Amino acid sequence: MELSQPRGLLDQWSDLFWRKKAILLFILLAPPLLWLGVVYIGSLLALLLQSFFSIDEFSGLVNYEFTLKTYGELFLPANYDIILRTVLMAASVSIAAAVIAFPIAYYAARYARGKMKAFFYLAVMMPLWSSYLVKVYAWKLILAKEGILNWAVEGMGASILLNAVLSLPVIGGNSLSVSYIGTFLVFLYVWLPFMILPLQASLERVPLNLIEASDDLGAEKRQTFWHITMPLALPGLIAGSIFTFSLTLGDYIIPQIVGSSRRFIGQAVYQHQGTAGNIPLAAAFAVVPILIMGFYLWMAKRKGAFDAL
C-alpha cells in the first residue's frame, strides 16, 4: 500500500508541521510575540528604567544615574496627596458601581429570558463600547450650570439642597462641573458597564439547585441571598472592581474636563512628561498604578476572581 506522496511544497510544509509541532507553534507565535515583546514590553521597560533616573533641579536636564531619589519624591506631601486622592476616588467609584450594577446584573442573570436577555445584554454593551469622549461630553452637557441637571433641580425646587451639598468641604465646589462629585459621577457612569458584565457572568453561574436547597431547608429569601448568592457572586464583584479601579487610577481626561483643579495620578503623569518635562517623575508616578494593580490582581487571584472574567 502506498501512502500519498508529498506532492508540492505546501504538502511538504504541512507534513513538517504535523511531525514537528514546535515549528508550527514557533511560526504562529513569533509575529505576535515579536510585536508585543518589542513594541510593548520594550516600551514598558524603557519607562521603568527612566523612573530610576532623576532630574537636575538647576539645569532641568535628566541625570542618567541610578537613583531612588525620584521615588522618594512621591512621598512629598503634594505628590502623596495626589496618590491618596486617586486611590480614594477609585475605591468610591468601584463601590458605587457595584451597588448600581448589582440589580441590573441580578435581574439579567436570574429573571430575564429570551428577548429580554438579549435586550439587557445589548443595553449594557452599547454604552460600554460607545465613544468614551462622547460619554464624557454628554456629562459636560448635563453638569453645566445652564444644563439639564440644574434645570431639573430648580424645577423640583431643590436648589437649596444642591447648594448645601456643594458647600460641603473637599467634595463640594462652585458648581457640579468643578467639584469632586461631578468627577465621581462621570467616572461612575463611564466605568459602570465594566462592573455589570463580570458580575452578571458570575451570577449566571450560581446553581439554581443550591438556591432551592436553601429554600427547602427553611431559609428566608434574605438569608439565601446573603449566604448563598452573595458568596458565589463575590468573584464577579472583584473582577468588575479590577476594571473600575484600574481604569479610574489611570484616567487623566475626566478629572481634567469635569472636576476641581486638584490633580489625579493620570494628570500628574501627563503634566510631568509634557509641560514640566520631568520624565523620571512621570515614570515613577506611572509605576504607582502598576504596583497597586499588581497587588490588587494578586489578591483577586487568591479569591478566584479570574474565573469570572
Partner 1 sequence: MHSERAPLGLKIAAFLGLAFLHLPILLIFVYAFTTEDKTYQWPPPGFTLKWLEVTWNRPDVWEALSLSLQVASISTCIALILGTLAAAAVSRTMFLGKEAITLLVILPIALPGIITGIALRSAFNLADISFSTLTIVLGHATFCIVVVYNNSVARFRRISASMLEASADLGANGFQTFRHILLPNIATALLAGGMLAFALSFDEVIVTTFTAGQQQTLPIWMLEELVRPRQRPVTNVVAMVVVIVTFFPILGAYYLTRGGTDISGSGK
Site for partner 1 in 82-141 (CB under 8 A): 100-101, 103-104, 106-108, 110-111, 118, 120-141
Residues 250-279 that bind partner 1 (CB under 8 A): 250-253, 256-257, 266, 269-270, 273, 279
The least distance separating partner 1 from the CB of residue 146, rounded to whole angstroms, comes to 5
Enclosing H/E stretch for 55: strand 54-55
Residues in the chain, how many? 309
Angle at which helices 279-302 and 42-50 cross, to 10°: 120
Q: Which is nearer to partner 1, 11 or 81 (CB)?
A: 11
Residues 203-232 touching partner 1, rule: CB under 8 A, are 208, 212
Name the residue nearer to partner 1 (CB basis): 51 or 173: 51
Strand (E) or helix (H) holding 192: helix 180-204
DSSP of 107-175: HHHHT--THHHHHHHHHHHHHHHS-HHHHHHHHHHHHSTTSHHHHHHHHTT-HHHHHHHHTSTTT--SS
Number of residues that bind partner 1 (CB under 8 A): 95
**Minimum distance, C-beta of residue 180 to partner 1, in the bound complex (Å):** 19
- Write down the least CB distance from residue 145 to partner 1, Å: 8
Cell matching residue 114: 429570551
In the chain, count H helices and then E strands. Answer: 16, 2
- Binding segment for partner 1 (CB under 8 A), chosen from 5-13, 75-83, 161-169, 230-238, is 5-13
Smaller CB distance to partner 1: residue 43 or 167? 43
Find out whether 258 and 183 touch, Cβ atoms under 8 Å: yes
- Measured from the CB atom, is 77 or 304 closer to partner 1? 304
Closest distance to partner 1 from the beta carbon of 130 (Å) = 6
Which helix (H) or strand (E) covers residue 299, if one does? helix 279-302
With contact defined as beta carbons under 8 Å apart, do 235 and 201 qualify? no
Select 170 or 210, whichever has its Cβ closest to partner 1: 210
Q: Which stretch binds partner 1 (CB under 8 A): 32-40, 74-82, 157-165, 229-237?
A: 32-40
Say if residues 172 and 206 touch (Cβ distance below 8 Å): no
**Where do we find the cell 536636564?**
61
Find the binder of partner 1 among 35, 64, 80, 226 (CB under 8 A): 35
Rounded distance, CA 261 to CA 188, Å? 19
Residues 159-198 interacting with partner 1 (rule: CB under 8 A) = 189, 192-194, 197-198
List 98, 142, 176, 305, residue binding partner 1 (CB under 8 A): 142
**Can you tell me the distance from the alpha carbon of 72 to that of 82, in angstroms, rounded to the nearest whole number?**
14
The contact pattern for partner 1, residues 38-57, with x = CB under 8 A and - = no contact, is -xxxxxx-xx--x-------
Q: Which residues in the 234-253 window bind partner 1 by CB under 8 A? A: 246-247, 249-253
Cell of 2: 502506498
Candidates 52-60, 72-80, 142-150, 159-167: pick the segment binding partner 1 (CB under 8 A). 142-150
Task: Tell the smallest beta-carbon distance from residue 169 to partner 1 (Å).
Answer: 27
